[in-house]
Amino acid sequence: MTYKLSKIAKELQLQFDGEDIEIDGIHTLSEATPTQLSFFNDTKYEAQLPLTRAGAVLIAEKYVALLPETAVALITDEPYLKLAEASRLFASALSTQSEAPWQGEGCDIDASVRFGKNVTLGDNVTILAGCYLGDDVVVGDNTLLHPNVTLYHGTKIGSDCIVHSGTVIGCDGYGFAHTKRGEHVKIYQNGHVIIEDHVEIGANCTIDRAVFGATIIRKGTKLDNLIQIAHNCDVGEHSLMAAQVGLAGSTTLGRNVVMGGQSATAGHLEVGAFATIAGKGGVTKSLEGGKTYAGFPAIDIKLWRRMQAALMRLVKKR
């Protein structure tokens, strides 16, 4: 869907002064195109302002001079809140309409499976009882969906994947802006989820759709049961996660990261390739690859073990 920028400004109750361009979506400063709206609400992204290609930016007045001439400024002292309000305009329209999917050869689909519109299935796809595949879902060759799997609209699953019962892929990420009165305004999650080839996902996992762009699980990754992957995460190739792992939003894992049971990350950080996080480890900052970490906050496991030994000696002395 596309809106005139003047229409968006009116919906957001903002003054509009500039070229009345067509806007077809929302994205970050670094990723937005000339037909997209962006926003600036955190000074750590200030260096991106002169470089953005966004057609328009929600921004406080004191930062307007940093924008390139190609970007129209929508001035507000609450850019994040206005982002939330604007996201509603671009939310996917959901319906109960259903149609038969396009499917390749050799598929085995239980009669109870429900499809949205424009679903595409590759060859030899097996979908067991009680599954739901929403609009514009794509499932690759030789993939197996166990009973009661839900794939929200726009989800893309590669070839040779296995998704176990009760898993939900493409549900909304946990995103809200907050008013000055403490009310919480939904940020509509208008991205999608991409699951690459040879991925196995355990039972009762949840993988959230992106705010914009994609949440990505890269090829060869294996997830245990009861795992939460938040919006805009990027999980590297051949990573392993044991039960009850949780990744907060916009976490990036390099390839072959291993996370023990009940370990977790804070959001907007990176864990390098071939890193291991021991069970119950809590990652609070970005970590180098090729090392093993433990504890909360997660530190090099050798240091953590020395700390535990020192603490035990202290307790015994007392």
The active-site residue, picked from 146, 192, 231, 238, is 231
Alpha-carbon span 98 to 28, nearest angstrom: 33
Residue closest to 258 by CA, chosen among 220, 230, 212, 307:
220
Q: Which residues contact 16 (CB under 8 A, 6 or more apart)?
A: 5, 6, 9, 10, 74
Q: What is the pLDDT of residue 63?
A: 96
Give the distance, in angstroms, between the CA of residue 38 and the centroid of all CA atoms in the same chain: 18
- Contact (Cβ atoms closer than 8 angstroms) between residue 64 and residue 76: no
For residue 143, pLDDT over 80 is answered with yes
pLDDT band for position 16 (cuts 50, 70, 90): confident
Residue with tokens 């060759």: 141
Q: What is the pLDDT of residue 229?
A: 98
pLDDT band for position 67 (cuts 50, 70, 90): very high
Mean confidence (pLDDT) of the chain: 97
Q: What is the pLDDT of residue 317?
A: 82
Q: What is the pLDDT of residue 85?
A: 97
CA 177 → CA 4, 22, 85, 181, distances in Å?
Answer: 24, 25, 9, 12
For residue 262, pLDDT over 90 is answered with yes
Q: What is the pLDDT of residue 36?
A: 97
Average pLDDT over residues 228-246: 98
For residue 4, pLDDT over 90 is answered with yes
Report the relative pairing of strands 3-4 and 22-23 from DSSP bridges. Answer: antiparallel
The reply to whether 231 belongs to the active site is: yes
Domains of the chain: 3-90 (3.40.1390.10), 102-302 (2.160.10.10)
Q: For the chain, how many helices (H) and strands (E)? A: 3, 37
For residue 318, pLDDT over 80 is answered with no
Q: Which residues contact 208 (CB under 8 A, 6 or more apart)?
A: 170, 171, 172, 173, 174, 189, 193, 215, 228, 229, 230, 231, 249
For residue 31, pLDDT over 90 is answered with yes
What SS3 state is found at 111? coil
pLDDT band for position 57 (cuts 50, 70, 90): very high
For residue 275, pLDDT over 80 is answered with yes
